[in-house]
Structure 1
Amino acid sequence: MLTLENVHVSYGPIRALHGVSMTIGAGEVVTLIGANGAGKSTTLRAISGLVHASSGRILFEDKDITQMSSAEIVRLGIGHSPEGRRVFANMTVRENLELGAYCRKDRAGIREDFDRAITLFPRLKERIGQNAGTLSGGEQQMLAMGRALMGRPKLLLLDEPSLGLAPFLIRDIFSIITDINKQGTTVLLVEQNAHMALGVAHKGYVLETGHIILSDSAQQLLANDDIKKAYLGE
């Protein structure tokens, strides 16, 4: 479904990604793990068109999206739930969700996905008329994910969905990620909680200072002694 070929990204003179290559198959959950500053968020931002690669190619369903705008990429079927949630604080939960479908015209489908979002995240249903800025951190994370799903993405990019959440909410979020995948959405997950991420993923890539240093099945990465020491606290 998605292929990155030797992707380089810079912020001015600072190189963030150094020739990143990876593949994601349809129906997979793939996780990208690494320390802070490794380039994980930049990889997602490059895929969704928020930053553009200085060289290399990004292919989505065999279409070159490397220099496309974010709006074009959303229309092709890539949704992005960003780090820090980025909900619209002065808009209601309903308005935030509806904004996620801004590229769509199919009213029946939008209604169907709205119902799906509030079924996946029952707390959002309870707070549907509340301003997003009044929600807890966990509820804002659910809203960010629900808003991304309103675009009916084939591929969902999730950036640090568990950041700052209480342990019981983290379990809920990862259970929902599994449900989203079972319903047919491919997921690329960036997550500091490597143990939880590898627990739901089919395969993983390890990113270090802008380079992919290792890739394997999630089970093999969980069993890898170097990964255990560096990322799993074992």
Structure 2
Amino acid sequence: MGMVQTLTDAWRRSGVEPGDTLLLHSSIRRTLVQARRQGDRLEVQDILDSFLEALGPRGTLLLPLFNFDFTTGVPFDIRSTPSRMGALTEAGRLRDGAVRTGHPIYSFAALGYRAREFEGVDNTSGYADDSPFGLLKTMDGKIGVLDLDDQGSMTFYHHVEEVRAVDYRYHKAFTGDCTDRNGVTTSRTYTLFVRDLDKGVATHVNPAGELMWKRGLYAGARPGTGSGLRVIRAREMFDFVAALIDGGQALGTLYVLENTGER
């Protein structure tokens, strides 16, 4: 059995099913190290292929291409601005047939059966309902996380916070030059629903992740164990996190106040 097939089988045991639409956050270092210890010359492209194989011909892979340079005045070019989310995401951006969404900070690459449904997605606000996060939820897609904790990966929390209009975050605008896929450059304004630093708000979502493990919403393996991949349905995560917010339980499960010590 080849290494790609071995990984494909591992992802499926962790909850990836043929036909899924999967948003994947990843750290591939341990996967590469394990393969090399076994004498396999595993490459980044092989890992990408293994996820596409696990999803099958009617599956779709969504990769975060997040890059925060636009917030410091660096122009965004949808054709060439690199991902800052690791080698696997950059390999996805460069893969033939990849469709990139338009937000200059929180863009995504879509590969596979439903990729064209992400073509032209150009949400103004990074986490809004018309963003790829919201589209994933509408598609009844899944979120997979490879060898990262919630704090270091699960941006979907902020989608729920924006939709629920939490009072510890606010909309902040960023304006700069954006170049589209036709090479046309215009000045554009986009927003992010950022934490309120004046209130000392710090993201602190691992407690919510533990609650989702206890509820049985996560399938698969914890970071650093087994395949390292865990999977959750986007709609189920949305409903669970929204219930925390609506029930007044966000403090201590989704954020803390650093300047007061309140948790």
Q: TM-score range by the shorter chain?
A: 0.3 to 0.5
Query: Larger C-alpha radius of gyration, 1 or 2?
Result: 2
- TM-score, with length taken from structure 1: 0.32
More helix by share: 1
